[in-house]
Amino acid sequence: MENKFEEIKNVIAPAALEVSSNYIKIGDKVTKTLFIFTYPRYLSTGWFSPIINLPELLDISIFVHPVETALALKNLRKKATQIQAQLSEREEKGLVRDPILETAFQDIENLRDSLQQSRENLFNIGVYITLYADNVEELSKLESRVTSMLESRLVYLKSAAFQQIDGFTSTLPIASDKLSIHTSLNSSPASSLFPFSSANLTSDEGVLYGINRHNNTLIIFDRFSLENANVVIFAKSGAGKSYFTKLEALRLMMLGTDVLIIDPENEYENLATAVGGSFFKISLTSDNNINPFDIPPIPKGESSGEVLRSHIVNLTGLIKLMLGKITPSEDALLDQAISETYAANDVVPGKDFANAPPPLLENLQTVLENMEGGREMAQRLYKFVKGSYAGFTNKPTNIDIKNRLIVFSIRDLEEELRPIAMYIILNFIWNLIRSNLKRRTLFIDEAWWMMKHEDGATFLFSLVKRARKYYLGVTTITQDIEDFLNSPYGRPILTNSSLQLLLKQSSATIDILGKAFNLTQSEKNLLLEAEVGQGLFFAGPNHVAIQIIASYYEDKIITTNPEQLLQQQ
């Protein structure tokens, strides 16, 4: 057994060490151990984080040796007596008061009170840092960098001169304090060294979202591993939100996830073309149409009556969006009219209506015209049936959705029609998702268009809330943060999204965002000063500073930079 232990030591240990007074050479690496020997009067929480998160090769050991309270009180009493004697002597001689002595005496008295009342304990703390580099010059530069970072916080280091072997041993994971260079700290400042960790969002599964700017690790995450797979993205125009969305969509598809996108500015057409996806333009003159009255397929385990009633509720919300404000009596009349429109095509609860022909909006208008109290609503629907807005709302569905990437573009629609088009597309997608359970993600760019109207916001919130049940992750993207968060459904959508991405923000919205996400002042400054593709990534309780990175070929597919697009032509 002893021979085996010796063999293990020989495998672990380096072949040789070259020991100098100020460094050690181990194989191809040069190492140097530093120790902290003095601290400022106050230590703020997280002061040690820049060293912990330094993207360099180093080892850190913290040794905490408890001091018996009785012994600590005895030593403090002696020290207090000495300082008090010095103060009395200066007073007798008529010398000017010494603020340093007075402050030291007050600190000692406060610490004695805390120890006596068991509110604090005293510890001898040893903090050792071993640096690694390829040569002595690089090691010296790294030492200067670490020293400067700590000295800016009034924390001072020294090299373990002529004790580099003991210093190196003290930072090995064997819990051996060979240096024994300690500083006395009570509980509060000692706790500022912890937690001895940095935010880390690297997992074994998922897609690469970017680089952790704290420590240069990869942010690899599976959005479907959380309680829901929903994402909210807030950013000002040009901050890189669409770039990030396309990059995530591309990488999700590589892992077998189907992707659906609502595109308000034709930004996803190149992506759809590159991967062989389907790109549908929805406009008044487009050949691509979606009939909002399409009969929804019946999912397994659900009754036809339940599905039809749910569909009628969603359809009622759409018609209310078209009509504007309606009275409670008109609302009840509208629900009855829609049911009768379906009944005219033999689509009623309790019957097999899978092969029944779906009605059109003009059929609802006819029913309303013949109902008492419905003529005014029929007249208001005229512009969507035969008037200036006639087109995509009153034609049979003619799009093929059998593809892994489907993009619906609404760029060519008038601003007034965009919320209606988004509602129709979302309802169409919702029926598709309910009928066939698959792992999917839905990206809704410029979601604030729907949040402007109560019926649209209600439907979007319902979709986000129920998505998890159907293996769907919904990504809502917006640059109009104030309108989104001020909507009564904005914050519920935010709380029902396990992941959030905040990119560069404007000074006009940063306070609203800071309040919604409990951001610190430094995090607010980070978002105000961020470059394109930089921001904060929230995943459950953790959040890190992110740098979005794409490969050369990914960038060629997803970029919307006009200069780059001209060069590609």
**pLDDT digit string, tens, across residues 281-311:** 988 888 888 899 988 888 777 777 888 888 8
Fold of 291-396: Helicase, Ruva Protein; domain 3 (1.10.8)
Backbone φ and ψ for 306, nearest 5 degrees, come out as -65, -45
Would you say 72 and 186 are in contact if contact means Cβ atoms under 8 Å apart? no
Residues 71 and 124: beta-carbon distance below 8 Å: no
Q: What is the DSSP string of 375-410?
A: HHHHHHTHHHHTSTT-STTSS-------SSEEEEE-
The residues, any chain, with a CB within 8 Å of residue 487's CB and separated by 6 or more, are 451, 452, 457
pLDDT tens-place string over residues 42-97 = 887 778 878 887 778 899 999 999 988 888 888 888 888 888 888 888 888 888 88
- % of the chain residues with pLDDT over 90: 29
Tell me the fold of 227-290+400-569. Rossmann fold (3.40.50)
User: What percentage of the chain reaches a pLDDT higher than 70?
Assistant: 96
> For residue 196, is pLDDT > 60?
no
- What residue ranges in 413-530 does DSSP mark as E strands? 440-444, 472-478, 499-503
List strand residue ranges (DSSP E) for 438-561, in order.
440-444, 472-478, 499-503, 534-539, 542-547
pLDDT digits (tens, 9 = 90+) for 537-547: 988 777 888 99
State the DSSP code for 436: S
Whether pTM > 0.95 for this model: the answer is no
Per-residue pLDDT reduced to its tens digit, 471-492: 999 999 988 787 788 888 888 8
pLDDT at 197: 52
Residue position matching structure tokens 């001689």? 93
CA angle 461, 247, 222 (to 5 degrees): 65
What pLDDT is stored for residue 408 in this prediction? 92
d(CA 126, CA 181): 6
- pLDDT the model gives residue 96: 84
Q: Which of 313, 295, 262 minimizes the C-alpha distance to 422?
A: 262
Residue 164 has pLDDT above 90, yes or no: yes
pLDDT at 195 over 80: no
Per-residue pLDDT tens for 508-520? 888 888 888 888 8
Place of tokens 């050792």: 128
Per-residue confidence (pLDDT) for residue 109, from 0 to 100: 85
Q: What does pLDDT average to over the chain? A: 86
The C-alpha atoms of residue 89 and residue 503 are separated, in whole angstroms, by: 62
pLDDT digits (tens, 9 = 90+) for 389-407: 887 788 888 887 788 999 9
Report cis status (omega within 30 of 0) of the bond before 195.
Answer: yes
Domain positions in the chain: 2-68+116-191, 227-290+400-569, 291-396
Check whether 569 has a pLDDT greater than 60: no
Which position has the higher pLDDT, 35 or 330? 35
